[in-house]
A = this chain, B = another copy of it.
Amino acid sequence: MQQADIIIKNGTILTLDSDNSIVENGFLCIRGDSISKIGPGNPTLFKAEKIIDAGGGLILPGLVNCHTHAAMSLFRGLADDLPLMEWLNNYIFPAESKMDAEFVYTGTLLALAEMIMSGTTTFCDMYLFADQVAKAARKAGVRCLVGEVLYDFPSPNYGPVEKGLEYTESLIQKWRNDPLVSIAVEPHSLFTCSPKLLTASNELALKYNVPLIIHVAETLTEVDEIKEKYGKTPVKHLDSLGLLGPHLIADHCVHLEDADIKTMAANGVNVVHNPESNMKLASGIAPVPQMLSQGLTVGLGTDGCASNNNLDLFSEMDTAAKLHKVNTFDPTVMDALSVLKMATVHGARVLGLQDVTGSLEVGKKADVIVIDTHKPHLTPMYNATSHLVYAARGSDVSHSIINGQPVMEDRKLLTLDITEIMARARETSIRVRSWLSF
């Protein structure tokens, strides 16, 4: 008998490996933080302290949320259905100017509870007080790539503009070698960051070999502004500054010209698609099928809760698959498997974590979720991939293991006290109301 720490058995395993192998009625062994065995049938040659029976459900890699602002969970439903500038100027910016470390820690914990409970095991964050985001993720046991948002105005966290990169560098050094937390350099956007800040950000990212993350071409207004100011599209502006490369993660990319897509593909840029946020803010529909056909790697993100309003990647997959069909009048684009890959293995690749997570393969870290399919809306099951994209909800995730550590069993969170977190979130919402006087 071979020893494992955890065995998950009695489920259909969607590996999302390079062959998209599916093991019907299989088992998966975890040893330490890694996957040690995947096989068909019963694990008769293996023993473990902990055995999780998937009950005939689905076993798959934990989902990868490639773009969010986790602590904005505390702004969920604060203001909807408004023109963008009214939303930003009257709600989001005033509230963010009052923000403190405690707010970000509480809001991130709340988001982490929601993410675990809807199957996300890795997330990429851009927000203020990024050290608090990392701490919260560490407490929850969730894998992440986080960074401090940088822009050309003073920050309630690090103060004057010139301190932003110093703060980011200190984060990189502090969290280096952490098993769960990675740090990125994160200038906010082309319209909030000077070429100088962008170039310095890029140099820092290259110096430490960490990702550079930025919002790109999210709205037409932004594109017009950049063209007006620099005489070129946002992508060409990035190119002229030397920022394009496989270390760059470009969020949104809603408004691209064909030449932009080609340039990004030629430079190996990674893209994050956030369909629900782009829809709710009326930003537009990103040309994802064209990006995929040009060979770009595209991951999926929920964006922050103020523009979605949830962190459920199952819902995001469903929307992504459908939105591009209706947008192109072609029901065959963005098929279920392509979308599931965006939310798993391709998402991991976007974040530079392709050797760590995103698929179930021996030697990779054990980031695994189990879906309970014994429910009316998942019965019968002709096709597991279709069910995951078009029928399942975040609430169907029964178990989650990250880096070999169980973080949820039978929908009970093991690393977070949600009653306490929700109480703190409600208290914080009273502060937010007072900031905005409503």
Q: Footprint of B on A, CB under 8 Å? A: 73-74, 76-78, 80-84, 87, 110-111, 113-114, 117-118, 220, 276, 278-285, 305, 308-312, 315, 318-319, 321-323, 325-326, 328-332, 334-336, 374-377, 379-383, 386-387, 390-391, 393-396, 418, 421-422, 425-426, 428-429, 433
Interchain CB contact under 8 A, B426 and A331: no
A429 to B378 alpha-carbon distance, docked (Å): 12
Interchain CB contact under 8 A, A328 and B282: yes
Closest chain-B Cβ to A359's Cβ sits at a distance in Å of: 21
Closest chain-B Cβ to A290's Cβ sits at a distance in Å of: 16
Return chain B residues, CB-CB under 8 Å to A395: 393, 395-396
Return chain B residues, CB-CB under 8 Å to A283: 326
Which are the 10 A-B pairs with shortest beta-carbon distances?
A380-B429, A279-B322, A77-B386, A81-B335, A309-B390, A395-B395, A113-B376, A279-B326, A282-B331, A114-B376
Return chain B residues, CB-CB under 8 Å to A113: 376
Return chain B residues, CB-CB under 8 Å to A284: 326, 329
CB within 8 A of A280: which of B84, B308, B322? B322
Interchain CB contact under 8 A, A422 and B278: no
Interchain CB contact under 8 A, A335 and B278: no
Return chain B residues, CB-CB under 8 Å to A322: 276, 279-280, 319
CB within 8 A of A422: which of B309, B323, B379, B422? B379
Looking at A73, A331, A332, A433, which has the most chain B CB atoms within 10 Å of its CB?
A331
A255 to B233 alpha-carbon distance, docked (Å): 35
A323 to B395 alpha-carbon distance, docked (Å): 23
Return chain B residues, CB-CB under 8 Å to A78: 382-383
CB within 8 A of A285: which of B310, B315, B326, B377? B326
Interchain CB contact under 8 A, A428 and B325: no
Chain B residue at minimum C-beta to C-beta distance from A281:
B331
CB within 8 A of A80: which of B220, B390, B426, B429? B390
Return chain B residues, CB-CB under 8 Å to A114: 376-377
A377 to B72 alpha-carbon distance, docked (Å): 12
Return chain B residues, CB-CB under 8 Å to A77: 381-383, 386-387, 390-391
- Count identical subunits in the complex: 2
Closest chain-B Cβ to A420's Cβ sits at a distance in Å of: 12
Interchain CB contact under 8 A, B376 and A418: yes
Interchain CB contact under 8 A, A80 and B383: yes
Interchain CB contact under 8 A, A376 and B117: yes
A278 to B326 alpha-carbon distance, docked (Å): 7
Return chain B residues, CB-CB under 8 Å to A329: 220, 282, 284
Return chain B residues, CB-CB under 8 Å to A380: 74, 76, 425-426, 428-429
Interchain CB contact under 8 A, B76 and A391: yes
A284-B326, A322-B279 as given contacts; A336 in contact with B376, CB under 8 Å: no
A280-B322, A281-B331, A391-B77 as given contacts; A382 in contact with B429, CB under 8 Å: yes
Closest chain-B Cβ to A83's Cβ sits at a distance in Å of: 6
Closest chain-B Cβ to A319's Cβ sits at a distance in Å of: 7
A322-B279, A336-B80 as given contacts; A118 in contact with B390, CB under 8 Å: no
Return chain B residues, CB-CB under 8 Å to A394: 377, 393
Looking at A308, A322, A329, which has the most chain B CB atoms within 10 Å of its CB?
A322
Interchain Cβ contacts under 8 Å between A and B, 22 examples:
A76-B387, A77-B387, A78-B382, A81-B332, A87-B331, A220-B329, A276-B322, A279-B323, A280-B322, A280-B390, A281-B325, A282-B328, A282-B330, A283-B326, A309-B387, A309-B391, A312-B393, A315-B393, A374-B422, A377-B394, A379-B422, A380-B425
